[in-house]
A and B are shown apart, each in its own frame.
Chain A
Amino acid sequence: MKRSYFSTIVLALVLAFLYVPIILVVFYGFVPNGTTMSFYNSNGEFIGFTGKWYSMIFSGDRRVDALIESFWLSLTIAGLATVVSCVLGTTAALALHKWKGKLQSLHHALVYTPLIMPDILIGISLLMLFVACCVDCGFWTILIAHITFCVSYVVMTILARLQDFDDRIVEASYDLGAGPWYTFFHVQLPILMPGIVAGGLLAFTLSIDDIVITTFVNGAGTNTFPTYVSSMTKHSKNLPAVFALSTLMLLFTCVLMGLSKLIARGGRTKTKGKI
C-alpha cells in the first residue's frame, strides 16, 4: 500500500514556520546596530556580529537597568501568582471533585467561565472594578489580576489528575485513624503533587508572558517584562538587548527541561533496578 507523504511535508513546513521568528530572535541578539537593526552599515557592507548586548546585560549597564528591573518584577509576580493560585486551585479542585451539589455547580461555572473569555475582557472588567473602587493601579492590582486568570487553569489541571485518583485511599486513611488534616497533608497532597506542579508551571508561564491583562491594570510606571518590551519597541535603541535576554531565557528553559528529563530518566532506571 502506498502511503501519502503529504501530511509529513505539511508538518515539516509548519515546524519551519513556527521556528522562523525564534531563529531571528537568536540572530538579532548579535546585531551591531540597535537603531537600524541591521548587520550592514550604510554602505551596504557586512559588519559582523557583536556580543555587546550580552555584556551589557551581565555588566548591569545603566541603559538596560529598567529592562532587567521589569524582568525581575515579572518573575516576582509570576512566582507569587503561582503560589497563591496553586493554593486556591487545589482547594477548589478538591471541593469540585468531592461534592456534587448546587453550590458546586455554581462554583464550577465560576471557575470555568474565565477560561472561555478572552483575556482582554478579564483585563477591562478588573480595570472597571478598580476604577469603581477608586484603587490606584500598581503592583498589587497586577498580582490580583494574574492570580484571577491563573486559578482556573490550575483547577482544570488538578481536576484532570483527580479523575484517576482512587478515593478509597482517603477512606482507608480515615479507617486507619488519621484525621482530615493528616490525611490531606500525608495522603492526598503527595499523590496530587504532579498535578499541582503541572498546574503551577502553566500558571507561571501564563503569568510571565501576559501582556493583555497587565496593560489594563498596571497603572503608570509599573512595568512587567512584556509591557516594558512593548513600550521599548516604539523608540528604544537597545532592542537587541531584549533579544539577547530572550535568547538567554530560552537557553535556560532548554537546560532546565533537559535536566528534568535526565532526572526523570535516572529515577526510572533506579526503580527499575530495584524491582
Chain B
Amino acid sequence: MTRQMTGAKMVVQALKDQGVDVVFGYPGGAVLPIYDEIFQQNDIRHILVRHEQGAVHAAEGYARSTGKPGVVLVTSGPGATNAVTGITDALMDSIPLVVLTGQVPTFMIGSDAFQEADTVGITRPCTKHNWLVSDTARLSDTIHQAFHVATSGRPGPVLVDIPKDVQFARAEYTSPAKAKVSHYQPQTKGDLDTITELVEALETAEKPIFYTGGGVINSGPAASALLRELVEETGIPITSTLMGLGCYPASGKNWLGMLGMHGLYEANMAMHDCDLMINIGARFDDRITGRIDAFSPNSRRAHIDIDPSSINKVVKTDFPIVGDVTQVLTDLLEVWKSRGRKTNREALETWWSEIENWKKVRCLAFTQEGKTIKPQYAVARLEELTKGHDRYICTEVGQHQMWAAQYLGFEDPNRWMTSGGLGTMGYGMPASLGVQVAHPDALVINVAGEASWLMNMQEMGTAVQYRLPVKQFILNNERLGMVRQWQELLHGERYSQSWSEALPDFVKLAEAFGCKGIMVKDPADLDDAIMEMINYEGPVIFDCLVEKHENCFPMIPSGKAHNEMLLGEASTKDAIDDKGAVLV
C-alpha cells in the first residue's frame, strides 16, 4: 500500500498514530489544509477555544491530569504569538505539549507576508525544542520526533512550524515504528553508587526529610506509589512543593504540608533544621529556598532529578542522582531493603516530637466571624464538601492559589493543575477545560481570583459549546490580592493599581454565556451555594464575595530564611528590609 499523502493528511495521520484523541486549537489561513483534514475524520476530537493562549493552557490541563502529551493546533503569526505564554508556562512546569503552528508558504518566508512571524525564532527559548519543516517528506518523521522529545527526559513543550505549501505537497508517510531513532535519549537510571551512599546517609540521619516536587508527578503514578512506600517504611517526614502536591496523600501520617514562601510553618521549620534533605523531582526554586545562604544550613542534600542542569544550579548537592524518579526510587528501595531496612529510630522519634511542637503553632488557623466570608473559610468549606468526589482542582495565580494549596487536600497525583514556575494569571480557566475533556465525569473546579479569571474568561464560551461542566470558584475580593498584600508589606500601603473598579456582575455574565451563575456573600449561605454548584450539571461561575483585605499567611518574606516566617498580621510590620524588597 502506498502511503503517499498530503502534508496536511500526514499531520492528522501522525497524530492518530501517536494515540492523540483530542486537539485544542483555533483555525486560520495558514492551517486551513490541516483543518480540512480534521473535518474529514472522526478519530480526533477538536476543541475550538476562543483564544490561542486558552488552547495551550487547556492542553496543559489535559496533559497534567492524564500524563499524556497535550496537542495544540494554531495558525501562523498571531496564532503562534498568542500561544507563547502558554508554551512558556509549560516549559517552566515541565508539561509535555506538542504545538503545531501554521506558517506562510516556504517561498514567502522572510518577506513580511500577511500573518507571518518568525515562530521558531520567537519560541526557541520557550520550547524544549522546535522545528520548521520545509519539506513534506520530513513532516511525519518530525512530528514523531516531536512527541518523543516532548515526553522523554524532563517533559516540556515542543513546536512544529508547518508552512502552508508543505501542507499541500504530497510525500511518503513514515509511521512511528519507521521513524528515525532520535539520538535524544536522556539518562533515566540513577548511579547506583550514589544511591547506595544516600541509603547509608538515610540509615543514620537524625533529622531527615523528603522534599518532593513536580518531577514525581511527571514520572508517572508508579513514582508516587514508590514514594509512598518509601515514606511509610522509613517513617521520614515529607513535604512537597506546589507542583508536587498529591504525590504523597494529604491524609498520610508523615505529611507536613506544602513548603516554601506560603508553605506550612512545620514544613519550613523542618526544612531549616533537617540534617538530611532528600529532594525528589524538585528544583530548589526561589519560592522554596527563601534566602539561599540561610537555606537549611545544617543539612546534607540529595537531589534526584532527570535533568542534569537542575543539579547544583542553585543549591550545592552532596548526593547528585540523575535519573527518572520511578527508576531511582525502585533502586533506592531495593538497596535500603537489602541492607536491612535500617533507620535511626530513636533520633527519628525525637525529630518527630520537634515537628509536633511546630504543628502546635497551627499556622493555618483562622477565625470566621461576622457577615463577611473569609477566603480561607471558603476554600476550607469547598474542601469539606468536595473531598469525597472524583475531584480535579485547577487554579489561577495569586492569593487564592496559595489558599487552595494550603486548605485543599490532595490524595492522588495528577489531580492538581496550577501554574507554578511562570505564575500565569489566566491559566486555570482554560486548564479546567482540558481536564474536563480528559475526565468527562469528574468534578473539575477552578479555584480562581476574579482578576486572574477575567484574563481568559472568554473560554467560558468553549465550556458552554462543549458542555464541559467546569466549576469556576471565584474568590472575589475586588483586588489583585497578592499585589495588594505586597504593597501593604513593602510599599507603605500605597495600593497602586491593585483595585479593579467596574467588575462585571458575574451572575449576569454567566447568563450571557449561557451557563449558571451563583453569587454568595453571607457565610451562612456558603455551604448551600457550594452544594448547588456541585449538583448543577453544567458549567458554573461561582462568585464568592470575600473579605477584601485578607492577607495570605504563613509567609516567608523576600530575602528571609525558612525560620523567619510571618505567621499573621501582628508580625508583618517592617518584616522585609530594603534588600528583600528588590526580590519578587
The reply to whether chain A is a binding partner of chain B is no
Q: Which B residues fall within an 8 A CB radius of A? A: none
